Amino acid sequence: MKILIVGLPGSGKTTQIDKIAQEYGLIPVRMGNILRDLASKGGKMGERVKSIMASGELVDDETVAELIKVEAAKIGDNFIMEGYPRTMEQVKLFDPGFDKVFYLGVPIEVVKDRMKGRGRSDDSGAAIEKRVQVQMEDMEDILSFYKNVLVKIDGTGTIEEVFKSIEDNLQ
Ligand code: AMP
């Protein structure tokens, strides 16, 4: 099963992915982690990715689509993905063909508060604003593209409540 989890940064995706991956034996794939790995390796490409990420802008579509295509070829058909695709251009370049897409809905103010408490190096005030703004713009298009497999989940409950809502849709 190929699952995508969509939600604003701080919506709880990462926590839920870990639980679902464990419970259902799916490989967790996080675009942000793939890019952070690349950035930490340095070199021309790594340095470029690192500075884009620090600014809160998106890495270019060709680069991320290629990275995820390579990753998808390695892991096969049982994964749960986060962070890709983020633009319609990415969908056009490479669509993993998800069986299910979960959208975790959380009010924007809650998302901003959660991110501030997370303390990641790219979670400074300006970068947070920028990331939320950029992601809101593209999310609607992505969700409507996947509407046939889309399930909207209320992400404001406890971790267990949100997990239960997801599980109810995985039977
Ligand atoms: P995340 O860990 O998902 O919050 O992603 C951290 C940063 O990685 C983002 O702010 C972007 O700079 C970059 N990034 C992650 N996923 C993508 C993507 N699908 N397309 C472009 N840039 C991305």
Alpha carbon of 132 to ligand 1 centroid (Å):
11
Which pLDDT value is given to residue 115? 74
Report which ligand 1 atom has the smallest distance to the Cα of 33. 2
Mean pLDDT of 63-91: 95
90 contacts 61 by C-beta, under 8 angstroms: yes
Q: Among 38-42, 90-94, 113-117, where is mean pLDDT lowest?
A: 113-117
CB environment 14-28: b (16+ within 10 A), e (fewer): bebbebbbeeeebeb
Which atom of ligand 1 is least distant from the CA of 53? 12
The answer to whether the CB of 58 is under 6 A from ligand 1 is yes
Task: Give yes or no for residue 134 CB within 6 A of ligand 1.
Answer: no
Q: Cβ(59) to ligand 1 under 6 A?
A: yes
What pTM did the predictor assign?
0.87
Radius of gyration, CA atoms only, the chain: 15
What's residue 80's pLDDT?
Answer: 97
pLDDT at residue 133, rounded to an integer: 77
Q: What is the pLDDT of residue 121?
A: 67
State whether the beta carbon of 50 lies less than 6 angstroms from ligand 1. no
Express each pLDDT in 145-165 by its tens digit: 999 999 999 999 999 999 999
Strands, sheet with 100-105, edge to edge from the N-terminal-most edge strand: 27-30, 79-82, 2-6, 100-105, 150-154
pLDDT exceeds cutoff 90 at 117: no
Does the beta carbon of 26 sit less than 6 angstroms from any atom of ligand 1? no
> Could you tell me whether strands 100-105 and 2-6 are parallel, antiparallel, or unpaired per DSSP bridges?
parallel
Give yes or no for residue 149 CB within 6 A of ligand 1: no
Mean pLDDT, rounded, for 88-106: 96
Measured from the Cα of 134, ligand 1's closest atom is 10
pLDDT at 119: 66
Q: In the predicted model, what is the mean pLDDT of residues 63-77?
A: 95
Q: Which tokens belong to 138? A: 């593209």
Which domains does the chain carry? 2-168 (3.40.50.300)
In the reported structure, the alpha carbon of residue 31 is separated from the centroid of ligand 1 by a whole-number distance in angstroms of 6
